[in-house]
Structure formats: structure tokens, C-alpha cells
Amino acid sequence: MDGVIRVHGLPLLFLLVPVVLDLALGREQVVLGLVAVSPLVAAPLAGRRATAAYGVVALLAAAVLGVYDRQYTDEALPAQAVRLAAVAVAGAVAVGVCALRLRREAELTRVSAEAASVRASLALGETLQRHLLGPPPIVPHLQSAARYLPAVRGTRVGGDWYDAFPAQDGATVLVIGDVAGHDPQAAAAMAEIRGMLRAVAVGVTSPAQVLTALDRVMAHPSAPTLATVVVATVTPTREGARLCWSNAGHPPPALVGADGSARLLERSPERLVGVAPGAPRTDAELALRPGDTLLLYTDGLVERRDGTLDQGTARLLDELAARAGTSLGDLCDGLLGAVTGAAPHDDVALLAVRVPAQPPGPAVGTQPSAPRQVSPIDLEGRRAL
């Protein structure tokens, strides 16, 4: 009832008041043209049929009141014809305005429904990505932290991943990888490659051998997949740890020394995984000292639309050197905020490990800082603080 009054109250009022006023003022005062206001008032409130109905009723009322006001004589007929035409035009305009309003409301409803669907897809994508990445990687005898930041475009699900799992010889295997794409297909390919890498790593003694085995497995995939990977092993030693790694077309790892210096572990580039089975893979080794920090990352951390890859890499090294003394969790959060900005256009995955200052022992090994889906709003607020 309230809805009916709200929609039809004003149009009926502007229809009845001119009729009553014309009758009350007598034949000398002709105000019947005011009924044209009724359909114009109905246009933003009622539907198209109701608006048209008010236009027809207003025209009939003006015609009948013309008889009462003696507007069909030879002298008054031209003026009455103009009044009736004005009322008819007002009704037609009102119907047009009402149709335009309804069209815009329908478009707004459609856009709102699409926005709700997109929000639901984004939430589903983030949940899917978290489950695909799995629980926080634990690196025995080392401090560790991991982060994943989805891109602002697409479905917020993609092919970036990190992983860590124990090797047979007491070492820990570290993995960072990136499958091309920002859609569920890329996420599915990422999960498949991640699982295959874990499977082929069983019984393999070096990162290069892991990538070589992965090349063979990916030689005939069901769908062509482009992926870059860094596989590394970290073995505790009396002096700290021994790092061995192999790079399949991925951005080089970064090393922050205990003295605060930062550099890339660059080597001659090798092919992406699965592109050329049988192509040679090589290992590189490095001794890690207490306090050294190793950062594995995906290209979203250094690629920016407003700069070159070299500029992004230089910015990363500057930030690493500036944040060398911070905890790994703060280091990762700071990098995401300072290097990628609040709205990254590509996924970013980070895996950082640090050799503790004290010598490694059976009880050493810190629980990693839990990986989080970091939102651009969080990063912007963190920067403002």
C-alpha cells in the first residue's frame, strides 16, 4: 500500500487538483492545461504503462473540461486545440522519459549483477590460489617467509607459486615458478607442474637433475604451457648453509649478505621448462653465511609498466639493501609495498630464507611467517603509516 501511494500519489494529485480548480473557478478561468503536469510527474515514479495511462487520462480530462468551459466555440477553439496538443505532447514526452529511466535502471541492475559476479569470482579465485599454494613452507634450520599478491586484473588467480619440501640427503628443496597467464587455466597448469616437480624430485640429487626430469615429463603436455622455474637446495653446514640452484628462464634469485649488501645470483640464461627436452641443465653453488638472506621471487616483483626490467631490478636491490636488518616478514611486506605498488598488474610470489646468526643445530628452525593474500589496500595503508 505504501508503495502504491508513493508511486501514484503525486501524479493523481497533479491530475485532480487542476480539475477541481477549473471547476471551482468557473468558466471564466480556464486552467485545464495544468493536467499536463500529471504524466510528467508520473514519468520518474511509475512504469511506462502507468505513465501512458496518466497521459491519456490527462488528455481526456482536458477535452471534457473544454466542454464545461465552452472552449469549442469558433472564437475559443484554436486556443483549446493548442491546449490539447500541449497535453498530448506532454504525455508523449513523459512516456519517453519513463522509458529512458527504465532502460537506465535495467542497465544499472545488469552492471550491479555483473559486479557482484566478479566479486564472487575474485573471492573464489583467491581461495583457490591459497589452496593451490598449500600451507606455509617450513625450511628446517632456516628462518623463512612467503607471500603471494594477486594481480588487480583478471580473476586474481594465476600461475605464480612457491614451494619447499625436504630432500633425501637432509637438504631442503626450494622452488619458485611462474606459469604464463592469469586465469583458472594457468592456475591448473601451475598445480600440475608443482605436483610433477615434487614427484620427479624424489631420489634426484641436484636442482639441474630435477629440471631435466621435469623437461622430460613436460615434453608432451595435454596443452602447451610456458613456465619458468628456479629450483634450489639448501643444506645446513657448520659454517651456515650450502646453496645449490638451477634456473629455467626465471628471474635470478637475490642474495642479501649479513653486511647489508644485495646482489643478484645471475648466470647464463637457460631454457624454460618443457621447451627443449634433453637440453643441458647446470647447477651453481654458493656458501651461505649466518645472517645471509636468499630471496626467490616472480617477475611481477620487478616488472612495471612505467619502467624497464633493469630499473625494476635496481629498485629491488635498493629496497633489499635498505631493509636488510628487518625480519623476513617485514622484508617481504615492505618489498610488496615499495616495489610493486598498491595495484600490481602481475601476480607476485615471494619465498625468503635466512641463515640464523647462531650455528645451525637440531633444534634450530623457525616457523615461517605465514603467506598471506596481501590486498592492494593493505599495501597502500601500510605505506601511508
pLDDT tens readout for residues 12-50 = 888 888 888 888 877 766 777 888 888 888 889 888 899
- For 352-371, the pLDDT digits (tens) are 999 998 654 443 444 444 44
- How far apart CA 373 and CA 150 sit, in angstroms, is 7
Give the sign of the dihedral formed by CA 370, CA 375, CA 380, CA 385: negative
56 versus 2: the higher-pLDDT residue is 56
Residue 232, pLDDT > 90, answer: yes
Contact in structure between 158 and 152 (CB atoms under 8 Å):
no
- For 156-185, the pLDDT digits (tens) are 567 889 999 988 778 899 999 998 877 777
Residue 375, pLDDT > 50, answer: no
Helix (H) or strand (E) holding 146: strand 143-149
> For position 111, what pLDDT does the model report?
92
The top-level CATH class assigned to 134-384 is: alpha beta
Residue 297, pLDDT > 50, answer: yes
> Does residue 234 sit in helix, strand or coil?
strand
Give the amino acid at 309. L
CA torsion, ordered 10, 12, 15, 21, to nearest 10 deg: -90
Q: Where are the domains of the chain?
A: 2-110, 134-384
Contact in structure between 48 and 98 (CB atoms under 8 Å):
yes
pTM of the complete model? 0.65
| DSSP string across 299-338 | GGGT--TTS-HHHHHHHHHHHHHHTTTS-HHHHHHHHIII
Contact in structure between 232 and 272 (CB atoms under 8 Å):
no
Q: Look at the block and give the residue holding cell 634456473.
A: 247
> For position 28, what pLDDT does the model report?
66
Output Rg (C-alpha) for the chain, integer angstroms.
36
Exposed (0-12), middle (13-18) or buried (19+): which is 126, by Cβ within 10 Å?
Answer: middle
